[in-house]
Structure 1
Amino acid sequence: MFHDFFTPSVQHALDLVGIFVFAISGALLAVRKNFDVFGMAVLAEITALGGGLLRDLIIGAVPPAAFTDLGYFSMPLVATALVFFLHPHVERIQGAVNVFDAAGLGLFCVTGTTKAYEYGLGLTSSAVLGLATAVGGGVLRDVFANEVPSLLRWDRDLYAVPAIVGASMVALCLRFDSLNALTSTLAVLTAFVLRLLAMRFHWRAPRAWNRRSAAAEEEGAGA
Protein backbone atom coordinates (compact mmCIF):
# COMPACT_ATOMS: atom_id res chain seq x y z
CA MET A 1 0.00 0.00 0.00
CA PHE A 2 1.02 3.58 -0.66
CA HIS A 3 1.02 4.69 2.98
CA ASP A 4 3.26 1.80 3.98
CA PHE A 5 6.10 3.45 2.08
CA PHE A 6 5.23 7.15 2.29
CA THR A 7 4.28 7.81 5.90
CA PRO A 8 3.45 11.33 7.12
CA SER A 9 6.85 11.58 8.80
CA VAL A 10 8.64 10.70 5.56
CA GLN A 11 6.44 13.15 3.63
CA HIS A 12 7.24 15.88 6.16
CA ALA A 13 10.98 15.20 6.01
CA LEU A 14 11.01 15.34 2.20
CA ASP A 15 9.02 18.57 2.27
CA LEU A 16 11.56 20.14 4.61
CA VAL A 17 14.46 19.04 2.40
CA GLY A 18 12.73 20.46 -0.68
CA ILE A 19 11.95 23.71 1.13
CA PHE A 20 15.56 24.08 2.18
CA VAL A 21 17.08 23.58 -1.27
CA PHE A 22 14.53 25.86 -2.94
CA ALA A 23 15.17 28.49 -0.28
CA ILE A 24 18.89 28.26 -0.99
CA SER A 25 18.25 28.96 -4.67
CA GLY A 26 16.02 31.93 -3.80
CA ALA A 27 18.53 33.42 -1.37
CA LEU A 28 21.37 32.97 -3.86
CA LEU A 29 19.39 34.75 -6.56
CA ALA A 30 18.78 37.58 -4.09
CA VAL A 31 22.55 37.84 -3.55
CA ARG A 32 23.10 38.01 -7.29
CA LYS A 33 20.46 40.75 -7.49
CA ASN A 34 22.21 42.65 -4.67
CA PHE A 35 19.21 42.42 -2.31
CA ASP A 36 19.68 43.13 1.40
CA VAL A 37 19.16 40.47 4.06
CA PHE A 38 15.42 41.15 4.27
CA GLY A 39 15.10 40.78 0.52
CA MET A 40 17.06 37.53 0.72
CA ALA A 41 14.66 36.19 3.35
CA VAL A 42 11.57 37.21 1.37
CA LEU A 43 12.85 35.63 -1.83
CA ALA A 44 13.86 32.47 0.04
CA GLU A 45 10.41 32.15 1.63
CA ILE A 46 8.58 32.75 -1.65
CA THR A 47 10.72 30.30 -3.58
CA ALA A 48 10.47 27.60 -0.94
CA LEU A 49 6.78 27.85 -0.06
CA GLY A 50 5.05 29.26 -3.15
CA GLY A 51 4.49 26.00 -5.02
CA GLY A 52 3.42 24.07 -1.93
CA LEU A 53 1.04 26.85 -0.91
CA LEU A 54 -0.63 26.70 -4.33
CA ARG A 55 -0.91 22.90 -4.11
CA ASP A 56 -2.42 22.94 -0.62
CA LEU A 57 -5.03 25.54 -1.56
CA ILE A 58 -6.10 23.50 -4.60
CA ILE A 59 -6.39 20.17 -2.81
CA GLY A 60 -8.13 21.73 0.20
CA ALA A 61 -5.33 21.17 2.70
CA VAL A 62 -6.20 24.33 4.64
CA PRO A 63 -4.79 26.10 6.42
CA PRO A 64 -1.74 25.35 4.25
CA ALA A 65 1.19 23.62 5.91
CA ALA A 66 3.29 26.76 5.38
CA PHE A 67 1.12 28.49 8.02
CA THR A 68 0.72 25.63 10.48
CA ASP A 69 4.20 24.12 10.65
CA LEU A 70 6.89 26.34 12.15
CA GLY A 71 9.57 24.23 10.47
CA TYR A 72 8.23 25.13 7.03
CA PHE A 73 8.51 28.84 7.78
CA SER A 74 11.82 28.60 9.65
CA MET A 75 13.73 26.48 7.12
CA PRO A 76 14.00 29.33 4.55
CA LEU A 77 15.32 31.60 7.30
CA VAL A 78 18.03 29.03 8.09
CA ALA A 79 18.89 28.88 4.39
CA THR A 80 19.02 32.69 4.26
CA ALA A 81 21.46 32.82 7.18
CA LEU A 82 23.63 30.17 5.55
CA VAL A 83 23.74 32.00 2.23
CA PHE A 84 24.27 35.37 3.94
CA PHE A 85 27.53 34.23 5.51
CA LEU A 86 28.73 31.47 3.16
CA HIS A 87 27.56 32.34 -0.35
CA PRO A 88 30.05 31.53 -3.12
CA HIS A 89 32.01 34.12 -5.02
CA VAL A 90 29.94 36.32 -7.29
CA GLU A 91 31.06 34.60 -10.48
CA ARG A 92 29.90 31.24 -9.11
CA ILE A 93 26.49 32.25 -7.82
CA GLN A 94 24.53 31.52 -10.99
CA GLY A 95 25.84 27.99 -11.20
CA ALA A 96 24.93 27.36 -7.56
CA VAL A 97 21.44 28.78 -8.10
CA ASN A 98 20.86 26.38 -10.99
CA VAL A 99 22.07 23.30 -9.12
CA PHE A 100 20.00 24.00 -6.01
CA ASP A 101 16.99 24.86 -8.13
CA ALA A 102 17.31 21.55 -10.01
CA ALA A 103 17.46 19.67 -6.70
CA GLY A 104 14.33 21.40 -5.44
CA LEU A 105 12.59 20.74 -8.75
CA GLY A 106 13.21 17.01 -8.43
CA LEU A 107 12.13 16.80 -4.79
CA PHE A 108 9.00 18.90 -5.11
CA CYS A 109 7.60 17.23 -8.22
CA VAL A 110 7.64 13.95 -6.28
CA THR A 111 6.32 15.21 -2.94
CA GLY A 112 3.70 17.36 -4.67
CA THR A 113 2.37 14.45 -6.71
CA THR A 114 2.21 12.09 -3.77
CA LYS A 115 0.45 14.59 -1.47
CA ALA A 116 -2.13 15.40 -4.13
CA TYR A 117 -2.79 11.69 -4.55
CA GLU A 118 -3.17 11.28 -0.80
CA TYR A 119 -5.95 13.88 -0.89
CA GLY A 120 -7.95 11.88 -3.40
CA LEU A 121 -6.97 13.35 -6.74
CA GLY A 122 -6.58 11.14 -9.80
CA LEU A 123 -3.21 10.23 -11.22
CA THR A 124 -3.21 12.86 -13.97
CA SER A 125 -4.37 15.65 -11.65
CA SER A 126 -1.83 14.59 -9.06
CA ALA A 127 0.97 14.77 -11.61
CA VAL A 128 -0.18 18.24 -12.70
CA LEU A 129 -0.09 19.45 -9.10
CA GLY A 130 3.32 17.84 -8.71
CA LEU A 131 4.47 20.02 -11.59
CA ALA A 132 2.83 23.10 -10.04
CA THR A 133 4.51 22.37 -6.71
CA ALA A 134 7.90 22.08 -8.41
CA VAL A 135 7.77 25.17 -10.62
CA GLY A 136 5.42 27.50 -8.71
CA GLY A 137 8.01 28.79 -6.26
CA GLY A 138 10.54 29.37 -9.01
CA VAL A 139 8.03 31.36 -11.05
CA LEU A 140 7.21 33.57 -8.06
CA ARG A 141 10.92 33.94 -7.30
CA ASP A 142 11.62 35.27 -10.78
CA VAL A 143 8.62 37.61 -10.72
CA PHE A 144 9.66 39.12 -7.37
CA ALA A 145 13.25 39.42 -8.64
CA ASN A 146 11.91 41.39 -11.65
CA GLU A 147 12.76 38.71 -14.21
CA VAL A 148 10.62 36.97 -16.80
CA PRO A 149 10.03 33.49 -15.32
CA SER A 150 12.37 30.90 -16.79
CA LEU A 151 9.35 28.67 -17.33
CA LEU A 152 8.02 31.08 -19.98
CA ARG A 153 11.21 31.95 -21.84
CA TRP A 154 12.05 30.20 -25.09
CA ASP A 155 15.73 31.03 -24.70
CA ARG A 156 16.06 29.14 -21.40
CA ASP A 157 16.90 25.47 -20.98
CA LEU A 158 14.15 22.96 -20.23
CA TYR A 159 12.67 23.57 -16.79
CA ALA A 160 9.14 22.21 -16.61
CA VAL A 161 9.83 19.08 -18.69
CA PRO A 162 12.11 17.43 -16.08
CA ALA A 163 9.43 18.05 -13.44
CA ILE A 164 6.78 16.59 -15.73
CA VAL A 165 8.90 13.48 -16.19
CA GLY A 166 9.45 13.09 -12.44
CA ALA A 167 5.78 13.61 -11.62
CA SER A 168 4.73 11.19 -14.36
CA MET A 169 7.09 8.54 -13.00
CA VAL A 170 5.44 8.86 -9.59
CA ALA A 171 1.98 8.64 -11.15
CA LEU A 172 2.95 5.49 -13.06
CA CYS A 173 4.38 3.94 -9.90
CA LEU A 174 1.12 4.72 -8.10
CA ARG A 175 -0.85 3.21 -10.98
CA PHE A 176 1.05 -0.06 -10.72
CA ASP A 177 1.30 0.00 -6.90
CA SER A 178 5.08 0.16 -6.99
CA LEU A 179 5.82 3.45 -5.26
CA ASN A 180 8.40 2.97 -2.51
CA ALA A 181 11.52 4.65 -1.20
CA LEU A 182 13.61 3.37 -4.13
CA THR A 183 11.23 4.39 -6.92
CA SER A 184 10.56 7.76 -5.27
CA THR A 185 14.29 8.45 -5.06
CA LEU A 186 14.68 7.38 -8.69
CA ALA A 187 11.98 9.84 -9.75
CA VAL A 188 13.72 12.66 -7.84
CA LEU A 189 17.09 11.84 -9.36
CA THR A 190 15.64 11.52 -12.86
CA ALA A 191 14.10 15.00 -12.74
CA PHE A 192 17.25 16.41 -11.16
CA VAL A 193 19.61 14.86 -13.73
CA LEU A 194 17.38 15.82 -16.66
CA ARG A 195 17.42 19.43 -15.51
CA LEU A 196 21.20 19.38 -15.14
CA LEU A 197 21.61 17.81 -18.58
CA ALA A 198 19.25 20.39 -20.07
CA MET A 199 21.45 23.14 -18.65
CA ARG A 200 24.65 21.41 -19.73
CA PHE A 201 23.58 20.77 -23.32
CA HIS A 202 21.10 23.65 -23.64
CA TRP A 203 18.05 21.53 -24.39
CA ARG A 204 15.09 23.77 -25.20
CA ALA A 205 11.47 23.27 -26.19
CA PRO A 206 10.55 24.16 -29.79
CA ARG A 207 8.63 27.29 -30.61
CA ALA A 208 5.90 27.70 -33.22
CA TRP A 209 6.85 26.24 -36.60
CA ASN A 210 8.85 28.65 -38.80
CA ARG A 211 8.46 31.48 -36.33
CA ARG A 212 11.32 33.98 -36.37
CA SER A 213 12.78 35.24 -33.10
CA ALA A 214 11.93 38.72 -31.91
CA ALA A 215 15.62 39.63 -32.28
CA ALA A 216 15.62 38.64 -35.95
CA GLU A 217 12.43 40.61 -36.61
CA GLU A 218 13.89 43.71 -34.96
CA GLU A 219 17.05 43.43 -37.05
CA GLY A 220 14.96 43.16 -40.19
CA ALA A 221 12.90 46.21 -39.24
CA GLY A 222 16.02 48.25 -38.62
CA ALA A 223 17.66 47.27 -41.92
Structure 2
Amino acid sequence: MTQAAISTLEHVGIFIFAMSGALVAVRLGLDVFGIAVLALITGLGGGVARDVLIGDNPPVAFESWGYLLSALAAAAVVFTSSGRIGRRERPILVLDAIGLSLFCVTGAIIGVDAGLGVLPSSLLGLVTAVGGGIMRDVLSNRVPIIFEGDLYAVPALVGSVGAAVVATQEWPSFLFVVASGTCLAWRLAAMFRGWSAPRARGTI
Protein backbone atom coordinates (compact mmCIF):
# COMPACT_ATOMS: atom_id res chain seq x y z
CA MET A 1 0.00 0.00 0.00
CA THR A 2 1.34 3.44 -0.92
CA GLN A 3 2.13 6.10 1.66
CA ALA A 4 -0.61 8.29 0.21
CA ALA A 5 -3.18 5.52 0.70
CA ILE A 6 -2.05 4.95 4.29
CA SER A 7 -2.27 8.67 4.99
CA THR A 8 -5.78 8.82 3.54
CA LEU A 9 -6.92 5.90 5.70
CA GLU A 10 -5.34 7.56 8.74
CA HIS A 11 -7.27 10.77 8.09
CA VAL A 12 -10.53 8.87 7.67
CA GLY A 13 -9.88 6.84 10.81
CA ILE A 14 -8.99 9.94 12.82
CA PHE A 15 -12.16 11.70 11.67
CA ILE A 16 -14.39 8.76 12.55
CA PHE A 17 -12.76 8.03 15.91
CA ALA A 18 -12.81 11.73 16.76
CA MET A 19 -16.55 11.81 16.05
CA SER A 20 -17.06 8.99 18.54
CA GLY A 21 -15.08 10.92 21.15
CA ALA A 22 -17.05 14.10 20.49
CA LEU A 23 -20.33 12.20 20.79
CA VAL A 24 -19.28 10.87 24.20
CA ALA A 25 -18.51 14.45 25.24
CA VAL A 26 -21.97 15.57 24.12
CA ARG A 27 -23.60 12.78 26.13
CA LEU A 28 -21.66 13.96 29.18
CA GLY A 29 -22.88 17.52 28.67
CA LEU A 30 -19.40 18.96 28.09
CA ASP A 31 -18.87 22.36 26.51
CA VAL A 32 -17.28 23.03 23.13
CA PHE A 33 -13.76 22.82 24.58
CA GLY A 34 -14.49 19.46 26.20
CA ILE A 35 -15.93 18.17 22.93
CA ALA A 36 -12.80 19.25 21.06
CA VAL A 37 -10.46 17.70 23.64
CA LEU A 38 -12.20 14.31 23.66
CA ALA A 39 -12.33 14.34 19.86
CA LEU A 40 -8.59 15.05 19.63
CA ILE A 41 -7.64 12.43 22.21
CA THR A 42 -9.84 9.74 20.67
CA GLY A 43 -8.80 10.46 17.12
CA LEU A 44 -5.08 10.89 17.71
CA GLY A 45 -4.34 8.91 20.88
CA GLY A 46 -3.77 5.52 19.31
CA GLY A 47 -1.52 6.89 16.57
CA VAL A 48 0.54 8.89 19.05
CA ALA A 49 1.02 5.80 21.24
CA ARG A 50 2.06 3.81 18.15
CA ASP A 51 4.62 6.39 17.03
CA VAL A 52 6.13 6.65 20.51
CA LEU A 53 6.51 2.86 20.68
CA ILE A 54 8.40 2.68 17.38
CA GLY A 55 10.53 5.73 18.20
CA ASP A 56 8.97 7.97 15.56
CA ASN A 57 9.34 11.22 17.49
CA PRO A 58 7.76 13.65 17.45
CA PRO A 59 4.61 11.68 16.53
CA VAL A 60 3.20 12.33 13.08
CA ALA A 61 0.07 13.85 14.62
CA PHE A 62 2.21 16.65 16.03
CA GLU A 63 4.02 17.32 12.77
CA SER A 64 1.06 17.48 10.41
CA TRP A 65 -1.72 20.00 10.82
CA GLY A 66 -3.87 17.77 8.64
CA TYR A 67 -4.34 15.20 11.39
CA LEU A 68 -5.29 17.84 13.95
CA LEU A 69 -7.68 19.46 11.51
CA SER A 70 -9.36 16.13 10.74
CA ALA A 71 -10.08 15.60 14.44
CA LEU A 72 -11.27 19.18 14.95
CA ALA A 73 -13.49 18.95 11.86
CA ALA A 74 -15.14 15.87 13.37
CA ALA A 75 -15.70 17.77 16.62
CA ALA A 76 -17.30 20.63 14.68
CA VAL A 77 -19.63 18.25 12.83
CA VAL A 78 -20.80 16.67 16.08
CA PHE A 79 -21.14 20.03 17.83
CA THR A 80 -23.36 21.45 15.10
CA SER A 81 -25.52 18.31 14.81
CA SER A 82 -25.54 17.12 18.41
CA GLY A 83 -29.27 17.65 18.75
CA ARG A 84 -29.90 14.89 16.22
CA ILE A 85 -27.25 12.31 17.07
CA GLY A 86 -25.41 13.39 20.18
CA ARG A 87 -27.37 11.48 22.79
CA ARG A 88 -27.68 8.13 21.06
CA GLU A 89 -25.38 5.28 21.99
CA ARG A 90 -25.53 3.36 18.72
CA PRO A 91 -23.81 6.02 16.55
CA ILE A 92 -20.92 6.09 19.01
CA LEU A 93 -20.49 2.33 18.91
CA VAL A 94 -20.79 2.07 15.13
CA LEU A 95 -18.29 4.88 14.53
CA ASP A 96 -15.97 3.32 17.07
CA ALA A 97 -16.15 -0.01 15.21
CA ILE A 98 -15.34 1.64 11.87
CA GLY A 99 -12.38 3.49 13.38
CA LEU A 100 -11.21 0.27 14.99
CA SER A 101 -11.23 -1.56 11.65
CA LEU A 102 -9.26 1.19 9.89
CA PHE A 103 -6.63 1.76 12.55
CA CYS A 104 -5.84 -1.92 13.16
CA VAL A 105 -4.80 -2.13 9.51
CA THR A 106 -2.87 1.14 9.22
CA GLY A 107 -1.06 0.49 12.51
CA ALA A 108 0.06 -2.95 11.37
CA ILE A 109 1.24 -1.63 8.00
CA ILE A 110 3.25 1.12 9.66
CA GLY A 111 4.81 -1.49 11.92
CA VAL A 112 5.91 -3.56 8.93
CA ASP A 113 7.25 -0.44 7.20
CA ALA A 114 9.26 0.27 10.37
CA GLY A 115 10.98 -3.10 9.98
CA LEU A 116 9.01 -5.07 12.57
CA GLY A 117 7.89 -8.68 12.13
CA VAL A 118 4.34 -9.96 11.90
CA LEU A 119 3.73 -10.36 15.64
CA PRO A 120 5.05 -6.97 16.82
CA SER A 121 3.38 -5.26 13.86
CA SER A 122 0.10 -6.93 14.80
CA LEU A 123 0.42 -5.73 18.39
CA LEU A 124 1.24 -2.24 17.12
CA GLY A 125 -1.93 -2.33 15.03
CA LEU A 126 -3.89 -3.33 18.12
CA VAL A 127 -2.42 -0.43 20.12
CA THR A 128 -3.27 1.98 17.30
CA ALA A 129 -6.83 0.67 17.15
CA VAL A 130 -7.70 0.64 20.84
CA GLY A 131 -5.45 3.35 22.29
CA GLY A 132 -7.62 6.37 21.53
CA GLY A 133 -10.80 4.66 22.73
CA ILE A 134 -9.18 3.67 26.02
CA MET A 135 -8.02 7.26 26.61
CA ARG A 136 -11.49 8.56 25.76
CA ASP A 137 -13.23 6.20 28.16
CA VAL A 138 -10.77 6.80 31.01
CA LEU A 139 -11.12 10.58 30.71
CA SER A 140 -14.91 10.32 30.60
CA ASN A 141 -14.93 8.09 33.71
CA ARG A 142 -16.20 5.02 31.88
CA VAL A 143 -14.88 1.48 31.96
CA PRO A 144 -13.01 1.15 28.63
CA ILE A 145 -14.90 -0.94 26.11
CA ILE A 146 -11.90 -3.26 25.80
CA PHE A 147 -12.38 -4.34 29.45
CA GLU A 148 -16.17 -4.73 29.47
CA GLY A 149 -16.23 -8.23 28.00
CA ASP A 150 -17.42 -7.20 24.55
CA LEU A 151 -15.52 -8.68 21.63
CA TYR A 152 -13.48 -5.59 20.85
CA ALA A 153 -9.76 -6.25 21.06
CA VAL A 154 -10.02 -9.71 19.47
CA PRO A 155 -11.48 -8.48 16.14
CA ALA A 156 -8.90 -5.70 16.08
CA LEU A 157 -6.08 -8.16 16.68
CA VAL A 158 -7.35 -10.47 13.94
CA GLY A 159 -7.51 -7.55 11.52
CA SER A 160 -4.02 -6.46 12.55
CA VAL A 161 -2.57 -9.94 12.04
CA GLY A 162 -4.18 -10.17 8.60
CA ALA A 163 -2.83 -6.76 7.58
CA ALA A 164 0.64 -7.54 8.92
CA VAL A 165 0.80 -10.81 6.96
CA VAL A 166 -0.39 -9.12 3.77
CA ALA A 167 2.16 -6.32 4.15
CA THR A 168 5.01 -8.69 5.00
CA GLN A 169 4.29 -11.02 2.08
CA GLU A 170 3.56 -8.10 -0.27
CA TRP A 171 0.27 -9.63 -1.32
CA PRO A 172 -2.32 -7.60 -3.32
CA SER A 173 -3.57 -4.47 -1.56
CA PHE A 174 -7.23 -5.46 -1.75
CA LEU A 175 -6.50 -8.00 1.00
CA PHE A 176 -6.07 -5.09 3.39
CA VAL A 177 -9.75 -4.37 2.75
CA VAL A 178 -10.52 -7.98 3.65
CA ALA A 179 -8.57 -7.64 6.92
CA SER A 180 -10.33 -4.40 7.81
CA GLY A 181 -13.72 -5.77 6.78
CA THR A 182 -13.23 -8.87 8.91
CA CYS A 183 -12.54 -6.72 11.96
CA LEU A 184 -15.54 -4.49 11.25
CA ALA A 185 -17.96 -7.33 10.55
CA TRP A 186 -16.91 -9.23 13.67
CA ARG A 187 -17.14 -6.16 15.89
CA LEU A 188 -20.58 -5.16 14.56
CA ALA A 189 -21.86 -8.72 14.87
CA ALA A 190 -20.64 -8.83 18.48
CA MET A 191 -22.41 -5.54 19.21
CA PHE A 192 -25.76 -6.41 17.72
CA ARG A 193 -25.83 -10.09 18.69
CA GLY A 194 -24.46 -9.65 22.18
CA TRP A 195 -21.35 -11.76 21.71
CA SER A 196 -18.83 -11.37 24.50
CA ALA A 197 -15.49 -12.73 25.67
CA PRO A 198 -15.45 -15.43 28.37
CA ARG A 199 -15.53 -14.18 31.96
CA ALA A 200 -14.20 -15.76 35.14
CA ARG A 201 -16.79 -17.79 37.00
CA GLY A 202 -17.89 -16.69 40.43
CA THR A 203 -16.87 -13.59 42.31
CA ILE A 204 -14.08 -12.69 44.69
TM-score range, shorter chain: over 0.9
Instruction: Kindly provide the amino acid, as one letter, of the partner of residue 94 in structure 2.
Output: V
Task: Report percent identity of matched pairs.
Answer: 48
Moved over 4 A (4+): none
Q: Indicate conservation of the 8 Å contact 2:27/2:86, yes or no.
A: no
Supply the distance in 1 between the matched residues of 2:28 and 2:85 (Cα, whole angstroms).
10
Where 1:203 maps in the other structure, the secondary structure is coil
1:212 aligns with 202
1:186 aligns with 2:181: no
Question: Secondary structure of 1:87's match?
Answer: helix
| 1:168 and 2:161 aligned | yes
Amino acid at match of 1:183: L
Question: Which position in structure 2 is the counterpart of 1:219?
Answer: none
Aligned pairs, how many? 204
Letter in 2 for 1:33: L
Alpha carbons of 1:56 and 1:91: their partners in 2 closer, same or farther (altered >3 Å)? Answer: closer
Q: Taking structure 1 as reference, are residues 148 and 136 closer, same or farther at Cα in structure 2, changes over 3 Å only?
A: same
User: What amino acid is the match of 2:69?
Assistant: S
> Do the aligned partners of residues 166 and 13 (structure 1) sit closer, same or farther apart at CA in structure 2, a change above 3 Å counting?
same
2:118 aligned partner: 123
**Structure 1 equivalent of residue 63 of structure 2:** 68
Which runs of 5 or more residues in structure 1 are unaligned?
1-5, 215-223
Question: 1:21-47 CA deviation, whole Å, 9 max, x = no partner?
Answer: 000100011111111111000000000
Which residue of structure 2 lines up, in the alignment, with residue 195 of structure 1? 187
Partner in structure 1 of residue 170 of structure 2: 177
* 1:105 is the counterpart of 2:85: no
Superposed displacement of residue 63, structure 1: 1.0
| Local SS of the residue matching 2:88 | helix
Larger Rg: 1
- Structure 1 residue aligned with 2:28, among 33, 36, 44? 33
CA shift in 2, pair 1:135/1:178, >3 Å: same
Q: 28-37 or 81-90: which moved more?
A: 81-90
Partner secondary structure for residue 146 of structure 1: coil
Output aligned runs, 1:131-142, within 5 Å: 131-142=126-137
Cα distance change on mapping 1:43 and 1:92 into 2, 3 Å: closer
User: Contact 1:123/1:175 (CA < 8 Å) preserved in 2?
Assistant: yes
Aligned CA-pair RMSD: 1.5
State how far apart, in whole Å, the 1-side matches of 2:80 and 2:54 are: 38
| Deviations 1:56-78 (CA, angstroms, capped at 9, x unpaired) | 01111111011000011111110
5+ residue gaps, structure 2 = none
Change (3 A) 1:173 1:149: same
